[in-house]
Structure 1
Amino acid sequence: METPSHSEPRDGAPLRSTFVAIGLTVFGLLMSEFAMLPAFLVDPALLDVVANGSLGDASIGGRTLLLILNFVGMALAGVIYLFATDRGLSWIDFRVPTRTDWKYLIGGSVGVIVFLYAISILFMVLDVPAAESQVMDIIGENQTMILIMIFIVFFFNAPAEEFLFRNVIQKRLYAGFNRMQAVLVTSTIFALVHLPMYLIAETMIATLASLTIMFGGSIIFGYLYAKTDNLLVPTAAHAVLNAFQFTMLYLAIEFGIDEAGTAPSLLFEAVATIPL
């Protein structure tokens, strides 16, 4: 099914579209939780670890399986919705990138990294802290887990989140909003989904700072999808960003950069914004 052109007027109900988007988000979260259940059967020790709130103490295999199933469940929610509404797999905008797509992909990948570090510097200048997410707990002190996370973000994290939030939710919002409005609504929902990850922050300012970074990144990914109608473009940009963050973290730990001045602050604040 083709998406409307950029100039085509929308006659859908904005409120209805928004409620559908929120419902899809909740459904995606529930499916993620349900999909992770087999991981606890494979590695029963995960139950105790999760109950104690220290996932970093679990085995690498257990953590890896848990994360992969989490994102598989999220993607499955989008697929179920497409078939339940008779949209089918033809609704998925996935194709070999054109020359224009490549321009947006490269520009978006560079742009989102620049945005991340520019806003991190701004927060440092203003002495605004960024809340640390569950990512650091998942990684623990194991550098091998960081390398595994790079694999996960390329093949599971970015594809699942971009498919659900861009190709399903944002595209569904086109029925009630113009494209840029749909990007804003989707990004607001995307940021709020990550609110529980940052509520552990010491201050509300830290939580809002991290959500602002999450919102800004989502705006960029949503814009890339709105301009190209190719899911591969925001997915690749998302994966490049997350892989870059984990690579910087790996290098920081490997070479002891975390013991230096301002560099580690930028590194770890950036990693704290990785969506999981």
Structure 2
Amino acid sequence: METPSRPADIERDGAPVRSMLVAVGLMAFGLVVVPQVTTLPAFLVDPALLEATQTGEYGETSLLGRTLFMALNFVGITLAGIIYLLWTDRGLSWIDLRVPTKRDWIYMLAGSVGSIAFLFVVSFLYELLGVPAADSQVVDIIGGDQTMVLIMIVIVFFFNAPAEEFLFRNVIQKRLYEAFTPMQAVLVTSVIFALVHFPMYALAGSVVATLASLVIMFGGSVIFGYVYVRADNLLVPTIAHAALNAFQFVILYISMAYGLEQDVATSLIEAVAFVPL
């Protein structure tokens, strides 16, 4: 089924409540349901992962097991989006992929620099105000393993950013165009994205720490959603997202390798809007 790619060309159905319910369902389906299936091979390779995912202690798990666990989680997110497109007869033509133009590269740069600047500003304010951040499972998985940090940089470019941007931007946000203006869809997507993560962070830290983490997630989602609206090209928010996450892991790696202030690097990496596993 051929579908228009530009937001202005998508016919609105005037059903915002239904569209928001679809968005919430898709996030739950993509973040929880499908990854439960796609990550099974990782548990077969390393059974110790089963206990580690419950306790948050990954010290006894293998590097291969952790790598598969992270990569296959994002494979599940991608698969969830594809299943939805095929189930609803939107088809793979719904995916906004094309060779980047000069304008696209400008938005990629703007999204990359803007998201990194946003992270720095918010992290600085949190540090200044003494606001804590809720724990990130990604930090637990990495532990103190420098090799795992380098592997995560590869995962960011080939699994993490492509999967998240495909589901959240090209599927969910674009689906919301049918009931909202493009910028309204960006905000609705970002609010739902943050709220869906509330239970996870609420269990991991205080109310203040939870809200602090959700603010980061909301802000990052708005930035990536905006550049997607402007470019109509999935590659644009994907590259910007990958650049942000890779930057954080590079900072973490340098701090480990050269003994820099660990608290600074950890606060940066914990602020990233990773999908819960």
Tell me if both proteins adopt one fold, taking TM over 0.5 as the criterion.
yes
Matched with 2:167 is 164
Matched residue SS, 1:55: coil
Matched with 1:220 is 223
Q: Which amino acid aligns with 1:107?
A: A
Q: String of CA shifts for 1:142-173, please: whole Å, max 9, x gaps.
A: 10000000000110011001000000000000
Matched residue SS, 2:230: helix
Answer whether contact 1:222 1:234 (CA < 8 A) is retained.
yes
1:131-146 pair list within 5 angstroms: 131-146=134-149
Matched with 2:27 is 25
Matched residue SS, 2:261: helix
- Offset of residue 128 of structure 1: 1.5
| Aligned length, in residue pairs | 271
Deviates further, 139-148 or 22-31: 22-31
Q: Which amino acid aligns with 1:254?
A: A
- Offset of residue 270 of structure 1: 1.6
Answer whether contact 2:162 2:238 (CA < 8 A) is retained.
yes
Q: 2-side partners of 1:255 and 1:158: how far apart?
A: 27
Q: String of CA shifts for 1:22-81, please: whole Å, max 9, x gaps.
A: 111111121011111121112222223334331343111000001111110110010011
Q: 2-side partners of 1:170 and 1:272: how far apart?
A: 25
Matched with 2:85 is 82
Matched with 1:254 is 257
Q: Which amino acid aligns with 1:161?
A: E
Percent identity over the alignment is 61
1:42-191 pair list within 5 angstroms: 42-191=45-194
Q: Which amino acid aligns with 1:214?
A: M
Q: 2-side partners of 1:131 and 1:51: how far apart?
A: 17
- Offset of residue 123 of structure 1: 1.5
TM-score, structure 1 as length reference: 0.93
RMSD of Structure 2 on Structure 1 (CA): 1.7
- Offset of residue 6 of structure 1: 4.0
Q: String of CA shifts for 1:4-27, please: whole Å, max 9, x gaps.
A: 444987343111110111111111
Deviates further, 30-39 or 42-51: 42-51
